[in-house]
Amino acid sequence: MADILIIGAGGVGRVVAHKCAQQKDVFDNITLASRTKSKCDQIASEVKEKTGRTIATAAVDADKVPELVALIRRVKPFMLINVALPYQDLTIMDACLETGVHYLDTANYEPLDEAKFEYSWQWAYQERFKNAGLMALLGSGFDPGVTSVFTMWLKKHKLKTIRQLDILDCNGGDHGQAFATNFNPEINIREVTAPARHWENGEFVETPAMAKKVEFDFEAVGKKNMYMMYHEELESLAKFNPELERARFWMTFGDEYIKHLTVLQNVGMTRIDPVKYQGKEIIPLQFLAAVLPKPETLGETTKGNTNIGVIATGEALDGSGEKTFYINNICSHEAAYEETGNQAVSYTTGVPAMIGSAMMVQGTWEGDGVFNMEQMDPDPFMDMLNDHGLPWQVKELDGPVDF
């Protein structure tokens, strides 16, 4: 057992708190901290009601290393689970290095003033964590996270090599709102409006945002339009699977979402550069995020399922030639809300964060330095997915995808 510190009290933070509290034999004292302590207190109250466990709460500004360091030294955790904003990854990693605490996150760092998703900033911490005898595990969410573990499980058990890879992320839920995002609005819109990139023949190929659309029939959801876009696990998957000829990421969006987003882009509300308003500088996208419904408030009204998985084609391990496998998870919004008070998008990110942390606390995954999910043994993680609310299935397809 070990003490842990969770930074971030949004929808994912709520799920992580609930799921960690459920694992009484893994996590001992749990502290939840955020800029707004009242949000932590509310979650702590919910956790107490659901699990009977008391978790401590604290206020901290994750942009400020000294505040983080003071909190970590007071709490003295074995590790820190970072489910705050991606802009804060580096300050939190700096604080972990200064205090000698292991680190885990669910999304890679990106600069506040540029929509640029890549691991280079965090990979640069490799020697510092290695020399400190600390482990930093990057991207232990669903995508990134579980999608990489799915891929490496297929490579361990089904495929000798992977030639083509497609990650399919479908949210088939309906939250009843005219326009809302199912995770942090600022991060969601930055991802969607950024140019698409996919890996092909040893390099990333860039195309306009939302330019490539394909209809796909998702189990437990139905037919949905999915759009090719860039997601950070493509970078780590290409690094740790050098034989990949092509890797792509797809996410579904409804027509109403696309219509509203197009209007917002056209009127400048998705800009991330500052503009003057009544003598003050504001970031239009940050203002938009402030007026949109908070993702953590959507759980009660969201109905339906998510279906997220990986389709991989490559040389079969058994020597039978080229094979294609589809491995995926289907998660119910209603079931996620009943268990943790959150919709399935937060749930599918928070559960893997808990599992990755359990891997580290129990010594199942260990090492000194900065690690991606692809570098870890997928089997124990996959077992815990089945046991803790994210069961998966795998099936062989007739052949490679035709899109």
**11-65 pLDDT, tens per residue?**
999 999 999 999 999 999 999 999 999 999 999 999 999 999 999 999 999 999 9
Q: pLDDT tens digits, residue range 310-322? A: 999 999 999 999 9
Give pLDDT, residue 39: 97
**Are 379 and 154 in contact, with CB atoms under 8 Å apart?**
no
State how far Cα 363 lies from the chain centre: 22
Parallel, antiparallel, or unpaired: how do β-strands 246-252 and 222-229 relate? antiparallel
Give pLDDT, residue 194: 87
Give pLDDT, residue 182: 67
Residue 390 has pLDDT above 70, yes or no: yes
186 pLDDT band, cuts 50/70/90, is confident
Give pLDDT, residue 183: 67
Nearest C-alpha neighbor of 236 from the set 137, 313, 168: 137
262 pLDDT band, cuts 50/70/90, is confident
Give pLDDT, residue 294: 81
Give pLDDT, residue 309: 98
Domains and CATH numbers, the chain: 2-138 (3.40.50.720), 146-342+389-397 (3.30.360.10)
Q: What b/e string do you get for 227-245 counting C-beta neighbours within 10 Å, with b at 16 or more?
A: bbbbbbbbbbbbebbeebe
Contacts of 19 (CB under 8 A, 6+ apart): 340, 350, 351, 353, 354, 388, 389
Give pLDDT, residue 14: 97
From residue 367, how far is each of 103, 138, 255 by CA, in Å?
12, 13, 45
Give pLDDT, residue 378: 98
State how far Cα 376 lies from the chain centre: 17
Residue 261 has pLDDT above 90, yes or no: no
Give pLDDT, residue 380: 98
- Mean pLDDT of the 277-289 span: 90
Kind plus residue range of the DSSP H or E element containing 171: strand 164-171
Q: What b/e string do you get for 351-377 counting C-beta neighbours within 10 Å, with b at 16 or more?
A: bbbbbbbbbbbeeebeeebbbbbbbbe
Residue 8 has pLDDT above 80, yes or no: yes
The CA distance from 42 to 48, in Å, is 10
Give pLDDT, residue 109: 94
Q: pLDDT tens digits, residue range 201-227? A: 999 999 999 999 999 999 999 999 999
Residue 180 has pLDDT above 80, yes or no: no
Mean pLDDT in the chain? Answer: 94
